[in-house]
Amino acid sequence: MYEHRRQPLLSHRRYVDRVKSHVLGALALLLLTLGIGMAGYHGLEDQTWIDAYLNASMILGGMGPVAELHTAGGKVFAGTYALFAGLVFVLAIGVVLAPVLHRAMHRFHLDEKE
C-alpha cells in the first residue's frame, strides 16, 4: 500500500489522493459506528431517531449520553457502545494520520545510505 523506503517519495498529487482516501475511509467507519449507535438507542430505548442520533453522536464524540436510560438492555448497550466508540475514534485518527506520518518518515529516510 505504501512505497518502500528505497522508492522515491510519492508525488504531491498522489499523496493528496492517498490522504483523501484515508479520510473517506475514516469517515465511513465513523458513520457506520454512528449508525450502529442510533439503531441500538432506537431499538432498545425506544428513542426517536433524532434522539438516538444525539445520544450516539455524543458518545462517539466522547461527551457522554444525553438522555436517561430506562432499560437494562439499553444500559448494557450504552456501556458497550461507549467502549466500542472510543476505540473506533482512536482508530479513525490513526487511519487519517497514517499517510502523514509515513510521508514524514519516508522523507526522513530518503538521504539514508544503505
110 pLDDT higher than 80: no
DSSP 69: P
114 pLDDT higher than 60: no
Q: How confident is the model at residue 64 (pLDDT cuts 50, 70, 90)?
A: confident
* CATH number for the domain running over 30-109: 1.10.287.70
Residues with Cβ < 8 Å from 53, sequence gap 6 or more? 34, 38
What pLDDT sits at residue 10? 78
Take residue 74 and report the three cell numbers written for it.
Answer: 439499553
Q: How confident is the model at residue 4 (pLDDT cuts 50, 70, 90)?
A: confident
49 pLDDT higher than 70: yes
Tell me the domain boundaries of the chain. Answer: 30-109
**Average pLDDT in the chain:** 90
- Helix or strand run (H / E) with residue 42: helix 12-45
Task: List the one residue out of 69, 7, 1 whose CA is nearest residue 41.
Answer: 69
88 pLDDT higher than 90: yes
